[in-house]
């Protein structure tokens, strides 16, 4: 059972900005995939904490595709938002853009959906408040989150 008053989607939103430095890159000068995944996990964790006001732990990450390389010196913008709450978990969408700091040009590079479980001080799952989407885009993501969850549960049962 979901606990508490519904919270607006916008109240969980996070925008995180990072600059790609040489220690973040591989020998080709591209951002390491693992570093980007770390940043995405942090942005999603903050969004889940904002929604639940509790510690939340990463339970899963859906497919992550690398559409364009991100080079040393470029800026990475991570936008995270809770799409939907379930019993003790939330789905957080993270969209990644790269920005050329000299021109301001931005390009979408990555997207993933992460599931976080809200836990108490002993690490036991606890109910989370529902999400109240208000915009057309938030309502679309809310609806699609239920479809993704059904697919996740199907895959979990299969394995």
- The pLDDT profile of the chain, 159 residues, written as one tens digit per residue, is 556 799 999 999 999 999 999 999 999 999 999 999 999 999 999 999 999 999 999 999 998 989 999 999 999 999 999 999 999 999 999 999 999 999 999 999 999 999 999 999 999 999 999 999 999 999 999 999 999 999 888 888 887
- pTM comes to 0.93
Cα three-residue angle 71-77-79, rounded to 5 degrees: 145
Please, what are the domains in the chain? 7-158 (3.10.129.10)
Q: What is the DSSP code string of 90-139?
A: EEEEEEEEEE-TTT--EEEEEEEEEEEEEE-TTS-B---PPEE--SHHHH
How many other CB atoms sit within 10 Å of the CB of residue 62?
A: 15
Cross-strand pairs, 7? 131
Q: Which pLDDT belongs to residue 2?
A: 53
Q: Which pLDDT belongs to residue 1?
A: 52
The H-or-E segment that residue 79 falls in is strand 75-85
């Amino acid at each position: 059972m979901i606990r508490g008053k519904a919270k607006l989607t916008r109240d969980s939103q996070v925008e995180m900005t990072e600059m790609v430095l040489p220690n973040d890159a591989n020998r080709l000068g591209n951002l390491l995939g693992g570093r980007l995944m770390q940043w995405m996990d942090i942005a999603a964790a903050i969004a889940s904490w904002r929604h639940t006001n509790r510690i939340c732990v990463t339970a899963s990450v859906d497919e992550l595709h690398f559409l364009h390389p991100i080079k040393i010196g470029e800026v990475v913008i991570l936008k995270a938002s809770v799409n939907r709450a379930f019993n003790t978990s939330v789905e957080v969408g993270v969209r990644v853009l790269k920005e050329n700091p000299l021109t301001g040009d931005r390009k979408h590079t990555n997207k993933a959906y992460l599931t976080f479980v809200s836990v108490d001080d002993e690490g036991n799952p606890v109910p989370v408040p529902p999400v109240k989407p208000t915009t057309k885009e938030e309502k679309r993501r809310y609806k699609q989150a239920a479809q993704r969850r059904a697919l996740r549960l199907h895959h979990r049962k299969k394995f």
